[in-house]
Amino acid sequence: MKRLTPIERRAINLIVRENMRILFSRNRKNAGRFIPQRVEIEPGEARQMIRLNRFMAGAMSWMGKKLPPKSNERAQLRLRLIYLRDSNRLIHKMLVKRPERRAPLYITGREAEMYFSNLEIVHRAFKAFRMNYLESATDMTKASDEAAEAWWAIRSIINVGHLPAEKRSERFGR
């Protein structure tokens, strides 16, 4: 088992703290922080959102392999992974498999809070997530392009509230 770097350790600690805050907090107001109430996914943005979630899940999964098997941190990371994979399945089922659908998909409540929390964690420790994603990849250039796309998608969702225009993805040949 590999040892965690200080950046990875910081990312794991962020995940554990955020899980405790979201799952066990009785104060739903989150004083001083604005958390959007819902995630809106347009049908045209579905594939880009799936790629972003796959990036986050892949990096978290690789980071989790560096933790001891029965540790609390690994269990907390697994909670986030299960959520990301379930949201990808939902997006694929509701938007990708139904090309005739024109209405956006909304994710609300605790799931939306967990998703925005994932974005904040990945944004704050992006260097660790990018490094782990590249370590797990078989094609380094493709993984580097996916990490760059994920960076712009995360920044856009945090700053503007929606995914960037698809032209960013076309630049990388998708």
Looking at the 3D structure of the chain, how many domains does it have? 1
Tell me whether residue 15 is in a domain: no
Which among 64, 53, 113 is positioned nearest to 86, based on CA atoms?
A: 53
For residue 172, which of 51, 42, 21 has the smallest C-alpha distance? 51
Range of the domain at 121: 36-166
pTM of the entire predicted model: 0.82
CB atoms within 10 A of CB 99: 9
Report yes or no on 13 lying in a domain. no
Phi/psi of residue 66, each to 5°?
A: -85, -5
Per the domain annotation, does 21 fall within a domain?
no
The pLDDT profile of the chain, 174 residues, written as one tens digit per residue, is: 577 888 888 889 888 888 887 777 655 555 555 566 778 888 888 999 999 999 999 999 999 898 998 899 999 899 889 989 999 999 999 999 998 988 888 888 878 888 888 888 999 999 999 999 999 889 999 999 999 999 999 988 887 777 876 654 444 454
Q: Report if residue 81 sits inside a domain.
A: yes
Is 94 within a domain? yes
Report angle CA 131, 137, 142 to the nearest 5 degrees: 95
**Structural domain includes residue 142:** yes
Answer yes or no: is 23 within a domain.
no
Does 107 reside within a domain? yes
Residues in the chain: 174
